[in-house]
Amino acid sequence: MAEPRRHHLMPQFYLRRFADANDQVSVVSRDLKKRFTTSVAKAAAETDFYAVETTTGEKSQEIEKFLSVIETHAARALEGMLSGQFPPSDEDRETLALFIAFQVTRGRAHRQIWATITDAGVKMSALMLASGETSDIAARLAAKTGEPATADDVAAVKRLVEDPESWEAVAHQNSAIENMLKAAPQYAPYISARRWRLARFTEPLLLTSDSPVAMWHRTDTRSYGIGLANADELRLPLGPRHALVMTAETGREHTWDLLPHHANDFNRAVAARGYEWIYHTPGRDPLASVRLPPPRPPVEVVGPPMARDLSTR
């Protein structure tokens, strides 16, 4: 059988919850300039997005298969939760927490952050490598490569440092996938340890995006950022009528019956977090009453190198 090369950045079972009876979903670009309707099978799909290059030069599709297994278990747990088994069992809670963690790490937004970290880290490493006398640079290069450094090697490092904006360090796709696989299990405990509440609406009002886990904080924390650990709430729409709210508050876990104006808050948070695309049920426009901020600019960070397989372009 042919390997599954069309990889879905958004799980099909999840997007299907926002589709109409014809398995169609409406797609809106994050800048709100493009709108179209397509099938769930075609939405958020990209060739070889999770493909891993092997030592033989071939591409392995095992990661896409692995994600499908996680999705299968999550779909069962989610269906049980929405059919009345809330709060979920400990097993279903862990299953869903891992699934939610992968919704944070599996998309293009997280991969872009990893790319930015890689680029900044390699440039910082080059800067540190090029500091000092020529003999010191040659010695550091030799220590890193295991081979004697020539004068041309030293000159090349100096040129890179003198004009860092003229080149970009690109992480190998294997490195980005490895980061995804490592990060999600680390994130899952922050999700499962929260108090969960199931938000319910009487009308189909909610949308979702390609970065569907919204993070909300009551106070201004822009100096530190909002993440899975310090957000007051994590919000994940589960369909047009349901959302999961994972709060840092104490208290019992229960089902919330919310009003339509609460849906606007959910939609703004989830749509604003979208990296490229927003999704909703055809025939409705949940964005009509939502004012979105402009798309976020690229993240700029500095730090040590965090990837092993790197190339420059």
Instruction: Please check whether residue 238 is in contact with residue 78, taking contact to mean a CB–CB distance below 8 angstroms.
Output: yes
- The amino acid present at 264, given as its one-letter code, is N
Burial 248-278 (b: 16+ CB within 10 A, else e): beeeeeeeeebeeebbbebbbbbbbbbbbbb
Domains identified in the chain, total number: 1
Span 106-117, pLDDT tens digits: 999 999 988 888
Handedness of CA 197, 202, 203, 204 (dihedral sign): positive
Region 38-53 average pLDDT: 95
Here the tokens at position 201 are 């609406």
Residue 40 has pLDDT above 80, yes or no: yes
Residues 258-269 have pLDDT tens digits of 999 999 999 999
Question: pLDDT > 90: what percent of the chain?
Answer: 63
Higher pLDDT, 311 or 297: 297
Q: Work out the average pLDDT over 134-155.
A: 85
**CA 163/CA 168 separation, integer angstroms:** 11
Q: Which helix (H) or strand (E) holds 132?
A: none
Residue 52 bridge partners (DSSP): 60
- Residue 158 domain boundaries: 1-313
Contact criterion met (CB below 8 Å) for 235 and 244: yes
The alpha-helical segments, DSSP class H, found in 131-218 are 134-145, 151-162, 173-192
pLDDT at 164: 83
Q: Is the pLDDT of residue 202 over 70?
A: yes
**Higher per-residue pLDDT: 251 or 301:** 251
